[in-house]
Chain A
Amino acid sequence: MEIATKGVFRRTASGLTREISAIDHWVYNVFTLLVLTGAAFFYVWAPGQFPATNPVLGLIVAAIVIVPIYVAYSMLASAMPRSGGDYIFQSRILHPSIAFMGLFAMCIWLWYWLELSGFWIAAMVLSPLFSALGVFTGSASLLALGTWFSGGTGILITALVTNLLVAIAFLPGLKTYLRIQWFLFAGVIISIVVMTFVLLTISHQTFVANFNGFMAAFDPSQTNYYQYVIDTAYANGFDPTAGGGLYGLIGVIAIAWFNLIWAVWAIPNLGEIKHAGNFGTMNRVMQASLAFGTLVLAVTMGLLIKVCGKEFTLALGFNWFNGTIEFPVQPYTSILIPIMGGGAIVVVLTLLGFLTQAIQQSFNVFVGGTRLLVAMSMDRVLPESWGKISRRFRGSPVNAILFLLIGAEVLAVVLWFVPNLENYALSTSFAATIYQSLTCLAAAVFPWRAKEIYEASPISKYKLGNIPLVTICGVWGFLVGVVLIIFYLVDPNLGLASTTGLWGMIGVFVFCFIWFWVARATNKSKGIDIDLNFQQIPPE
């Protein structure tokens, strides 16, 4: 017996601990914000597509817009701290068919996310590494190898191998991942420190000289590649005054969304987060990761413009997105900054973080994806076997891992035939925004649709006037989501690069929706009424 806190006596009884601490959660979130790899897209994409909009301003506004969304998520998490996160919220508050449609579709998009990890390792790590080493040593073979990793075959092979290795590493469960997370994070921090140091200490003139020298190794005919980038952009219709105003600002926010919204990706792991039931801690961890991610992105973007020159930065983005220059090495920060540094150590230290972040990104697809699949399987919407826990692999959901791995490997081969797969990156944002908006809608109606759970939770005391705070934040998140979804649909530069892509997405959503009703009927024929999984027993 003991006095636990003021006025509380506690007897000796068994109790347990969840695995993910607040600091682990924060680190995981910082990873999911993709402060190196995903951010490298932002640095070329936002200036290239919306040159008249200040990208740093866009990042800051995006972060401010996201703050209430993270509040809504933290509130739902603390009220329903269960594995499966968004799927649990939506299925219990809105409707299970809606939840399954949005979240199973997301699990299918995760195949694309796994390709992105391979892409990042090939195009942002191995290609710059071998290219830089080729320039430093004068080796044509290394230069060719660097170029090969930038191409479709290099990316395909890297994606296939990365997916397989990470899936194998994830088999022993979350424990293994949590043990190596800190080593991966150290790589990211080292890279951020090195990049910031280089950007703060290098002059514009040095960058131009180093850039021209570096590119001349690939294309000796261009002695001033820096000016070539600018001239080519103008020759192909680049207009630095285009993409401004409110439209441009929303566009930049939509691109920043690809990074800054992703602290929500820890939510499917709520069953393993120690403080999941504590709104204050959940919210602080999410907001702190958002602040850190925004700071890194904004500072890097600002310094890049200062060191590289605004006109060059905008033109580089234009050429990258439109394919008007066949870059021998893709012009991401993973190569631009090592070029500025001008030495092998800077190259290695910078690329270390990109490599560890890409590996972690692959892990976090498996971590979050398997939690969603297991939750759906527990509800019997997916076959029971998909969520089966393996004794051999210490509680790991092997079949769920295989679903993600096999789908990703097949997709890798399919994407081999698709040029510029990175241009579809925001398609994932589009798909994710749909499920995140539905979660925000669930937050908005939570006090009425799941009244008993809401009233029993500590978040019921947070109100503005008579309106529950979770409703206000949920409505905000839903409206922002709707605006972004419309934007992704109407602006051809934001990921939905083709009508085929759009129909493909719609097809997946329809497929998932139909799946739910078929699964419901099939279970019913076996005497299992899955409707019961989503209903609350009245206590009175």
Chain B
Amino acid sequence: MFWFKRDKKEKKEAFTRIFFATDIHGSEPCFLKFVNAASFYKADVIVLGGDITGKQVVTIERRGDEYHSHLFGQDRVARTPEELAQLEKHIRTNGFYPYVATADELAELSDEEDKLAALFSRLMCETVERWLRIAEERLRGLPVKCFISPGNDDVFDLDPILASSDLVIYPEGKLVDLDGEHTMISCGYANMTPWRCPRDIEDDELRVKLEAMLSQVEDPSRCVFNFHAPPYDSTLDTAPQLDANFKPVLVGGQPHMIPVGSVAVREMIEKYQPIIGLHGHIHECRGAIELGRTVSLNPGSEYSEGILRGVLVNIADGQLKGYQFVAG
């Protein structure tokens, strides 16, 4: 920004700064921004809160020396390797997975559900593996801890890949140290959605899981809860009610908005009163809400526009010192 100048001498702040983003759904620019957020925001800890994989595969049909694709209602043709790379980059930018194949191979995919599922899993895992290498390359040597946890939309094949990095920390279900003074516990499971995603479970089951995780926490007042699902009826969880065909239920001609968060998550926050709750899942519900002493935050998501929404949180001595929403 042209009128802004940084202080010549950057002071070491007396708090730990956490940058939290979530629900990037396969958007490559968002992931790259997440990694760069560490130095950009001078964060000590960066946390990617789940739903990191994309939802769509955009095929690129190989026809001789040409590559044909269809994106956002437009036919696109790449004739050179450079053009193909550009096309693939454009597809990734929007959170989709490019897949190059012949017409016969694509027809086979359309007919066989198992093959398509395997393709999705392979593309998601390959992408996350590649992303981890980028994160390792960019963050190694920096004084920052990087956590990446899965969300309810992410397949289980992803977990061993996330756990394989020697730099990025896979925090799912574990109590992890943030700065020597504060800890974090993470859960990517969510209460059941109409889509019945890989990590959707009933709220009762989620409650049992959370209680088991929280039994590891000695001092909840110095702990950060990184739970993908937002607490129930917290304004961080308002979404249209859907029917069996995933269509919004209309009341008086308008979508009927209801709270869709997790009762179990809310109960755990109210019971244990951590420093903060970090949540995602409901993209449109960016906001903050106080549940007792705990401030629960949902930075929302605009991954499809390549915008990384996040929240910067300053904590010290078991206290929340401040937070601000950012979108980079």
Interface residues, chain A, with chain B CB atoms under 8 Å away = 1, 3-19, 24, 79-82, 95-97, 173, 175, 178-179, 182, 271, 277, 378-380, 384, 389-391, 394-395, 452-453, 456-458, 523, 526-528, 530-540
Which residues from 33 to 74 on chain B have a C-beta closer than 8 Å to any C-beta of chain A? 33, 36-37, 40-41, 51, 55-59, 61, 69-70, 72-73
In the docked arrangement, what's the CA distance between A271 and B234, Å?
19
In the docked arrangement, what's the CA distance between A540 and B55, Å?
24
- Output the least CB separation between B99 and chain A (Å): 8
**A531 and B322 in contact (CB under 8 A), knowing A182-B253, A389-B287, A537-B33?**
no
In the docked arrangement, what's the CA distance between A336 and B322, Å?
59
Residues of B within 8 A of A1 (CB): 113, 116-117, 120
Contact B284 A271 (CB under 8 A): yes
- Output the least CB separation between B58 and chain A (Å): 5
**A9 and B57 in contact (CB under 8 A), knowing A456-B306, A532-B41?**
yes
Residues of A within 8 A of B1 (CB): 95-96, 531, 534-535
- Output the least CB separation between B138 and chain A (Å): 10
Residue of A nearest to B90 (CB): A456
In the docked arrangement, what's the CA distance between A103 and B67, Å?
47
B212 is an interface residue with CB less than 8 A from chain A: no
Interface residues, chain B, with chain A CB atoms under 8 Å away = 1-4, 13, 15, 25, 28-29, 32-33, 36-37, 40-41, 51, 55-59, 61, 69-70, 72-73, 93, 96, 106, 109-110, 113, 116-117, 119-120, 152-153, 193, 195-197, 233-235, 238-240, 248, 251-255, 257, 281-284, 286-289, 302, 304-308, 312, 314, 321-322, 324-328
- Output the least CB separation between A76 and chain B (Å): 12
Contact A527 B254 (CB under 8 A): no
In the docked arrangement, what's the CA distance between A3 and B107, Å?
11
Nearest 5 A/B pairs, CB to CB:
A537-B328, A539-B32, A179-B252, A7-B70, A537-B33
Residues of A within 8 A of B314 (CB): 527-528
User: What are 29 A-B interface contacts by the 8 Å CB criterion?
Assistant: A1-B117, A4-B56, A8-B96, A9-B120, A12-B197, A13-B197, A14-B193, A14-B281, A15-B195, A79-B305, A82-B302, A95-B2, A96-B1, A178-B254, A179-B251, A379-B324, A391-B234, A395-B238, A453-B306, A527-B13, A527-B314, A528-B312, A528-B322, A533-B324, A533-B327, A534-B1, A535-B328, A536-B328, A537-B37
In the docked arrangement, what's the CA distance between A189 and B243, Å?
33
Residues of A within 8 A of B25 (CB): 13
Contact B305 A175 (CB under 8 A): no
Which residue of the partner chain, among B4, B239, B283, contacts A531 with CB atoms under 8 Å?
B4
Interface centre among A81, A175, A277, A523 (most CB of B within 10 A): A175
Residue of B nearest to A10 (CB): B56
Contact B59 A17 (CB under 8 A): no
Residues of A within 8 A of B308 (CB): 537
Residues of A within 8 A of B96 (CB): 8
**A14 and B326 in contact (CB under 8 A), knowing A7-B59, A182-B253?**
no
Which residue of the partner chain, among B197, B233, B257, contacts A391 with CB atoms under 8 Å?
B233
Residues of B within 8 A of A18 (CB): 284
In the docked arrangement, what's the CA distance between A77 and B214, Å?
44
Contact B197 A14 (CB under 8 A): yes
- Output the least CB separation between A379 and chain B (Å): 8
Residue of B nearest to A530 (CB): B324
Which residue of the partner chain, among A11, A82, A182, A394, contacts B56 with CB atoms under 8 Å?
A11
Residue of A nearest to B200 (CB): A14
Contact A539 B57 (CB under 8 A): no
- Output the least CB separation between B129 and chain A (Å): 19
Residue of A nearest to B152 (CB): A14
Residues of B within 8 A of A97 (CB): 3
- Output the least CB separation between B135 and chain A (Å): 13
Residue of A nearest to B234 (CB): A391
- Output the least CB separation between A370 and chain B (Å): 14
Contact A11 B120 (CB under 8 A): yes
**A537 and B36 in contact (CB under 8 A), knowing A13-B195, A81-B305, A175-B257?**
yes
In the docked arrangement, what's the CA distance between A13 and B57, Å?
13
In the docked arrangement, what's the CA distance between A9 and B54, Å?
11
Contact A394 B257 (CB under 8 A): yes
**A14 and B36 in contact (CB under 8 A), knowing A19-B240, A82-B302?**
no
**A17 and B235 in contact (CB under 8 A), knowing A1-B113, A1-B116?**
no
Residue of A nearest to B196 (CB): A12
Residues of A within 8 A of B196 (CB): 12
Residues of A within 8 A of B51 (CB): 14
Contact B58 A8 (CB under 8 A): yes
In the docked arrangement, what's the CA distance between A1 and B195, Å?
11
In the docked arrangement, what's the CA distance between A11 and B254, Å?
27
In the docked arrangement, what's the CA distance between A298 and B238, Å?
43
Which residue of the partner chain, among B33, B153, B255, B324, contacts A13 with CB atoms under 8 Å?
B153
In the docked arrangement, what's the CA distance between A179 and B251, Å?
8
Contact A9 B69 (CB under 8 A): no
Contact A527 B328 (CB under 8 A): no
- Output the least CB separation between B273 and chain A (Å): 17
- Output the least CB separation between A343 and chain B (Å): 33
Residues of B within 8 A of A391 (CB): 233-235, 289
Which residue of the partner chain, among B3, B37, B248, B305, contacts A456 with CB atoms under 8 Å?
B305
Residues of A within 8 A of B110 (CB): 3
In the docked arrangement, what's the CA distance between A515 and B106, Å?
59
Residues of B within 8 A of A7 (CB): 58-59, 61, 69-70, 106
In the docked arrangement, what's the CA distance between A284 and B59, Å?
30
Contact A12 B234 (CB under 8 A): no
In the docked arrangement, what's the CA distance between A536 and B197, Å?
32
In the docked arrangement, what's the CA distance between A500 and B283, Å?
47
Which residue of the partner chain, among A3, A80, A540, contacts B305 with CB atoms under 8 Å?
A80
Residue of A nearest to B291 (CB): A391
Given contacts A14-B193, A389-B289, 4 further A-B contacts (CB under 8 A): A10-B57, A11-B56, A13-B25, A14-B281
In the docked arrangement, what's the CA distance between A10 and B13, Å?
45
In the docked arrangement, what's the CA distance between A125 and B62, Å?
68
Residue of B nearest to A272 (CB): B284
In the docked arrangement, what's the CA distance between A384 and B287, Å?
11
Residues of A within 8 A of B59 (CB): 7-9
Residues of A within 8 A of B288 (CB): 384
In the docked arrangement, what's the CA distance between A456 and B72, Å?
13
Residues of B within 8 A of A395 (CB): 235, 238, 257
Contact A17 B69 (CB under 8 A): no
